[in-house]
Structure 1
């Protein structure tokens, strides 16, 4: 759907610094003189507001930098909403995108992602500028992906006093009701009755009961795609308590669940022909007299016994029970997402989540879609030689390694033990947070990898898509 450009809409021109023709020919002579006087050089993200005769904005020039710059990104227009005053705008020179419609789609999506603001606790929310839809851009698809990403952002940004297991369940119920899915919730001691002992152990010390959220959407005859998201709504570290600085951002430790729900919303909104299952173990890792301890040995849903090396490595425990349940029905694709290790951040930083899989075809497909969608992901190895680091003298496996090396890899190797029947499994060790604002990425909770995954699933299973 493309709406006509309104008369009061201000044109936005994209300018490369090395184009040789900085100024659009459509501009008036006074406008050209103004631009020259400001010293506009079209650096990446540079904005020049050109005033018109009546005092309104006649045009906007937006710098893209050099065409062959290594830092150039089609998401750069995501900076515009924070740099422009409220009003209506349109991309004036869309002819530059004729040979690359994906770039125009991403520029439009970037605008909408850049408009995101978390203002739940603020009285005066800033009015954001509005973009008229460019010709040929699928507005439904832009909004679908933006809404999915913003759902993940919202869930992560809400502080833990308002986003515990109860509230995460309520959001999930709302999503389920919207799309006609079926939800089953197993709460508290019922987790033991239904053989989810590690989810129960991690969450039992909190007055907010642990639970497993399990919903199914789609036709039973369609390919089974299952998503598992780590839902640790707050992580004190348990008895291996975190220092204060490390605990400050632990509201985001349910970022895996938030991203999985954002991805699920895209899939269901697009009505993709898959049988979708979503599993979210939702807990709070707290400290009390009945908290699980370092040195404990826990039973798991799969039947393996797990020695606890550190209660601050709780996420992989609840994921293991959920992955084992998911694996029981042998889905065609099993995806788990978790804010799992600091080691991943040390290795790749906050913006580049690693992913792990033994399926080389899936690895290649994810990497390709990540590049195409400008949704950064990086494949890391399931290095079999490191599996021995998880050995235990008294149980089938320890859930952490003894030496602290390769922490993200050994966490993935631990999870792999609970997936045996699934055709294709992939694990994402995400950060779920933008430490500083970037183009199309305001500071705060962040969706990572789900645009790439949504497009991969759509392209793989929706034969009507072209």
Structure 2
């Protein structure tokens, strides 16, 4: 289901936000029956509290939502979405003294709260509707919500139904929706097109590896999005333990996220030329699997010593990045569920990103703060370059020692981007381990909303 706002002429019940600091003054301004009802139900404006105020006919006249204090709104993103979940049905309108950013966050959070992944249950979940608040761009917010829901659906779908074939089909559906062009190179044709590392990683699977190349737009700056599309990662011959394999359906979270971002860009008609590159593979085990100790040659001629077949994401991305860099865009973004080291450093909620461009980093950070899509800049620390330079090849795909794993992976990818003026790599998690307002447990987009919000600023730099 694509979340949308209620029709503008729909009758709506107002939802009033009440802060803890302003509660006494607000209560004093109400008539006696309201004051008595509020006191009887223990409502004091605590963050997330919900109270329905009855009309004389016992229908709902208004809804109160506790807005807490400033620290509550910092700690809890999409606080307004708690009302959407609690109310479950009906049509509502925002009623409160919120800033423009808070209003936009509230409206988007309400839309996102309607998301549920019910492909295998089939149960339709009844959701409350919201009228678009005055001053927000409703179509833009609906496009953002639809892009995020696309990302969540792709990640949540198990690998049995989301392999390279199905990921390609999702790309073709998106291209058809927006009139984009798409080209797919599959199987041994990857060798003919000089994409050897994508082929090497995916050749052991019964589902053929491929590179998906989608383009859209004819004018404006050039932007290329590259997303890791490892539809399932067994770890290859360096087989993962079962406890580490359980969430590997999400290893195509980078691809899912760039597709969600691509939808946001195309649905809102941005004046730019977009390219999306997705190396789609399954890292499996068979007699022709690539091995520890092998040396592979990448598209750009660099040789890579394989010291762990479970560090496969950077290999498929390397070929895609090298291809993109041959016709350098104005901006290239790489998104991948790449390293556990990033999660150890920042946890599941913060998306680390790498760039040498200070202006780009500042624009992304500001956007992430504004739209509540938190990011954290990490360093391309060049003194660590020797950690990815083994004895017998140009690069090592899995440096020993265990230190700085996210940084060394980013440095590895950076070797394949030499001509593009602005480049950022995101090492995302793509999974929400604990349900939160507007963010149920499961697949989730990270960084896409921040990138989308930052694009006008970035493209004007």
Point out where structure 1 has 5 or more consecutive residues left out of the alignment: none
Q: Is the 8 A contact 1:327 1:419 kept in 2?
A: yes
Moved more, 440-449 or 78-87: 78-87
How much has 1:138 moved relative to structure 2? 1.4
Q: Is the 8 A contact 2:47 2:72 kept in 1?
A: no
- 1:184 aligned partner: 183
Provide closer, same or farther for how the CA distance between residues 175 and 26 of structure 1 changes in structure 2, counting only shifts above 3 A.
farther
* Match runs of 1:5-84 below 5 Å: 6-7=10-11, 9-21=12-24, 23=26, 29-67=32-70, 69=72, 71-72=74-75, 75-84=78-87
* Match runs of 1:373-384 below 5 Å: 373-384=371-382
- 2:237 aligned partner: 239
Question: Match of 1:291, SS?
Answer: coil
Provide closer, same or farther for how the CA distance between residues 238 and 294 of structure 1 changes in structure 2, counting only shifts above 3 A.
same
- 1:218 aligned partner: 217
Residues 1:323 and 2:326 are matched in the alignment:
no
TM-score (norm 1): 0.94
How much has 1:61 moved relative to structure 2? 1.1
**1:233-283 CA-partner distances (Å, limit 9, x unpaired):** 011111111111111111100000000000011111111111111000000
Q: Is the 8 A contact 1:74 1:107 kept in 2?
A: no
Question: Match of 2:310, SS?
Answer: coil
TM-score (norm 2): 0.95
Residues 1:352 and 2:350 are matched in the alignment:
yes
Q: Is the 8 A contact 1:15 1:22 kept in 2?
A: no
Q: Is the 8 A contact 1:2 1:135 kept in 2?
A: no
Find the aligned partners of 1:225 and 1:84 in 2 and give their Cα distance: 41
Q: Is the 8 A contact 1:294 1:310 kept in 2?
A: yes
Provide closer, same or farther for how the CA distance between residues 265 and 370 of structure 1 changes in structure 2, counting only shifts above 3 A.
same
How much has 1:75 moved relative to structure 2? 2.1
Residues 1:421 and 2:424 are matched in the alignment:
no
- 1:439 aligned partner: 437
Moved more, 47-56 or 201-210: 47-56
* Match runs of 1:19-418 below 5 Å: 19-21=22-24, 23=26, 29-67=32-70, 69=72, 71-72=74-75, 75-93=78-96, 96-97=97-98, 100-219=99-218, 221-418=219-416
Find the aligned partners of 1:236 and 1:134 in 2 and give their Cα distance: 46
Question: Match of 1:160, SS?
Answer: coil
Find the aligned partners of 1:67 and 1:385 in 2 and give their Cα distance: 41
Q: Is the 8 A contact 2:433 2:442 kept in 1?
A: yes
How much has 1:29 moved relative to structure 2? 3.5
Q: Is the 8 A contact 1:334 1:425 kept in 2?
A: yes
Find the aligned partners of 2:418 and 2:460 in 1 and give their Cα distance: 27
Q: Is the 8 A contact 2:212 2:277 kept in 1?
A: yes
RMSD: 1.9
Aligned length: 457
**1:29-87 CA-partner distances (Å, limit 9, x unpaired):** 43332221111122222212233333322221111111355735562112222211311
Provide closer, same or farther for how the CA distance between residues 20 and 47 of structure 1 changes in structure 2, counting only shifts above 3 A.
closer
Question: Match of 1:317, SS?
Answer: helix
Find the aligned partners of 2:171 and 2:186 in 1 and give their Cα distance: 15
Question: Match of 2:445, SS?
Answer: coil
Find the aligned partners of 1:254 and 1:123 in 2 and give their Cα distance: 24
Find the aligned partners of 1:85 and 1:181 in 2 and give their Cα distance: 37
Provide closer, same or farther for how the CA distance between residues 5 and 90 of structure 1 changes in structure 2, counting only shifts above 3 A.
farther
Find the aligned partners of 1:450 and 1:164 in 2 and give their Cα distance: 23
